[in-house]
Amino acid sequence: MTSKNKLKGILSSPPLQALCRLALGGIFIYASLDKIAHPQEFARIIANYSILPDFLVTLPALALPWVELIAGLSLVAGLWTRSSALLLCLLLLVFMAALGFNALRGISLSCGCFSTSASDTENAYVLIFRDLLILVPGLLVVFFNRADD
């Protein structure tokens, strides 16, 4: 077995894959709950990002938390594993782009990451770095999960 195959074997090992699924899925399930409970507050946070036109902020505010919840649940359950993980990775990329865009514009805002509280304001670069860390288990599932292919 070459070392490349060995690495592949480790990355696609069931325990590691399960850990990644539970971590990523759990994070997104947790993140979705407060936003589902407070759609209006979340819509205002999206509006504060000043990226979407005003009339388009409510749809993502309503849909996004539920997408996070469903994809998180199916990832934890191991259904449509790679699709769920890929979807969540794409969401993370969108989040990072939105945070980065506003950081470059010098707009400081409430993240809306895990809660709709206005005090959830942190340095955008720290948040982007956090998203990058969360991206790791996601990419491991997308590229090395062998359960559903």
Partner 1 sequence: MALSKRHVWQMLALAAAGLLLGLGWNFFAGRPLPLLRPLPAPEAAAADVRFGEVDADFVLQTGSGILLLDARAAAAYRLGHIPGALSLPVGEFAGTFAALAPRLRQARLLVVYCSGPTCDDSRALASRLWAQGLKSLLLYKGGMEDWSGGGRDVEK
**What does the binding site for partner 1 look like in residue numbers (CB under 8 A)?**
36, 39-40, 43-44, 47, 54-59, 61-71, 74, 80, 82-84, 86-87, 90, 142-143, 149
Q: Which is nearer to partner 1, 65 or 137 (CB)?
A: 65
Q: Which is nearer to partner 1, 47 or 51 (CB)?
A: 47
Q: List the structure tokens of 26.
A: 């759990």
Q: Which is nearer to partner 1, 9 or 129 (CB)?
A: 9
Round to whole Å and give the CA distance between 93 and 147. 24
Q: Using an 8 Å Cβ cutoff, are 87 and 138 in contact?
A: no
Instruction: Of 91, 123, 92, 130, give the one whose Cα is nearest residue 106.
Output: 123
Q: Which is nearer to partner 1, 69 or 76 (CB)?
A: 69
Nearest distance in Å: CB 133, partner 1: 22
Crossing angle of the two packed helices 3-11 and 124-144, in degrees rounded to 10: 110
Nearest distance in Å: CB 45, partner 1: 11
* Cα angle, residue 132 at apex, residues 126 and 135 outer, rounded to 5°: 145
Nearest distance in Å: CB 126, partner 1: 27
Instruction: Of 77, 46, 80, give the one whose Cα is nearest residue 63.
Output: 46
Nearest distance in Å: CB 66, partner 1: 4
